[in-house]
Amino acid sequence: MSKKLTGNQIRQDFIDFFVEHGHTAVPSMSLVPGGDATLLFTNSGMVQFKDVFIGTDTKPYKRAVDSQKCMRVAGKHNDLEDVGRDDTHHTFFEMLGNWSFGDYYKKEAIAWSWQLLTEVWGLPKDKLYATCFKDDKGNVPQDDEAADIWKQQPGFDPEHVLFFGRKENFWQMAEFGPCGPCSEIHIDLGEERDNLRGTDHVCGVNGECTRYLELWNNVFIQYNLFEDGRLEPLPAKHVDTGMGFERIVSVLQGVDSNYKTDLFTGSLEVLRSLTGHTEKEMLADFTPYRVICDHVRSAAFLIADGVVPGNAGRNYVTRMIIRRGARFGTKIGLNEPFLAKVAEAVIAEYGDFIPNSKRIRRPF
């Protein structure tokens, strides 16, 4: 299907592709969104560009590409309950994004996502689907423009354009602020990846099973949503895309779990050496392993951004995650302190990409 690339190469491929298309590579912002009282943590790539969208800030570039550190443990986007239960959610994750600030719009954004996925990474065209916005409340126009652009992509099956409503295809970072219709790219991973096979369920894009995986969201930011519900056009139109880094790595590495990618190999090995489990035993009771790997990674990145464990707000979340990680350790027989050992593996994996992470030494 595709070349076997490491996670680090995949992140670099994404950045290089958009730099070649005139984007400036920008660093991830901190997990602590300075000056934004609406958010506890940076929860998406657009946080560092919110003021540019609203028109109260400018950048020295019109196109950008980045891999943003995100936490989704509170507020509008909270994935905590899914972590450990499934193979695709995290409290901390990276979001690969390309950005247009009043520059290119749907035509280029869609064409480039198609090229990167199918030409650079060689994903099978007939397995990819695109969803577009159709307002279930009937207030915002249907996004036929995006749907038509999808149908023009070489090798794209026009039947694979699907329309969904506000829940799936309208993106807002918070309860109000810049927002717009979005177009998501999903991949059909094959019947064998349907975890509900044989049951009566919705087996399709945005359905109930794990066969169809959302990979990439292209958001077309064109409105500002006010607290009183008013939706006003922004002074300019923008593109905000977000691809779950861990998910694309799992697809390109051909594994059925984000936790089986090379991003987590080191952490899992440390844990397995502590529990003495064989790989088979580990996979038979994978939930504690997933939770611990996820939570240690989150705690390490939070501490690297200066959020130490404490009693309130962000500090409380850091403490909660650490305690939760330790608690799941007891489920696999780890009753002595072990989290710092796993953190060493996180630092080894991420040290080159995130400079701050190399400063973490024995965070807990």
Q: Quickly count: other Cβ atoms within 10 Å of residue 260's Cβ.
A: 18
* Number of residues engaging ligand SER in binding (CB under 6 A): 10
Residues sharing a CB contact under 8 Å with residue 345, sequence separation 6 or more, in sequence order:
266, 267, 269, 270
Stretch that binds ligand SER, among 133-141, 190-198, 239-247, 274-282 (CB under 6 A): 239-247
**From candidates 7, 97, 177, 178, binder to ligand SER by CB under 6 A:** 97
Give Cα 297 distance to the centre of its chain.
15
Stretch that binds ligand SER, among 11-19, 25-33, 44-52, 273-281 (CB under 6 A): 44-52
Stretch that binds ligand SER, among 27-35, 38-46, 112-120, 129-137 (CB under 6 A): 38-46
**From candidates 26, 46, 239, 334, binder to ligand SER by CB under 6 A:** 46
If one asks whether residue 41 binds ligand SER (CB under 6 A), the answer comes out as no
Q: Calculate the alpha carbon distances from 45 to 49, 99, 172 in Å.
A: 8, 9, 12
If one asks whether residue 44 binds ligand SER (CB under 6 A), the answer comes out as yes
Checking DSSP bridges between strand 170-172 and strand 92-101, what pairing results, if any? unpaired
Q: Quickly count: other Cβ atoms within 10 Å of residue 111's Cβ.
A: 17
If one asks whether residue 242 binds ligand SER (CB under 6 A), the answer comes out as yes
Nearer to ligand SER, 53 or 121 (CB): 53
Rounded to the nearest whole angstrom, what is the least distance from the CB of residue 97 to ligand SER in the complex? 5
Q: Quickly count: other Cβ atoms within 10 Å of residue 199's Cβ.
A: 10
325-359: string of b/e by CB count within 10 Å (b at 16+)? bbebbeebebeeebbebbbbbbbebbeebbebbee
**From candidates 42, 98, 113, 241, binder to ligand SER by CB under 6 A:** 241
Rounded to the nearest whole angstrom, what is the least distance from the CB of residue 217 to ligand SER in the complex? 4
Kindly identify the residues of this chain, within the stretch 198-237, that bind ligand SER according to CB under 6 A.
217, 219
**From candidates 66, 188, 240, 349, binder to ligand SER by CB under 6 A:** 240
Residue 183 in contact with residue 230, Cβ under 8 Å?
Answer: no
Task: Give the H or E element holding residue 318.
Answer: helix 313-331
Which positions lie near ligand SER, rule CB under 6 A?
44-46, 97, 171, 217, 219, 240-242
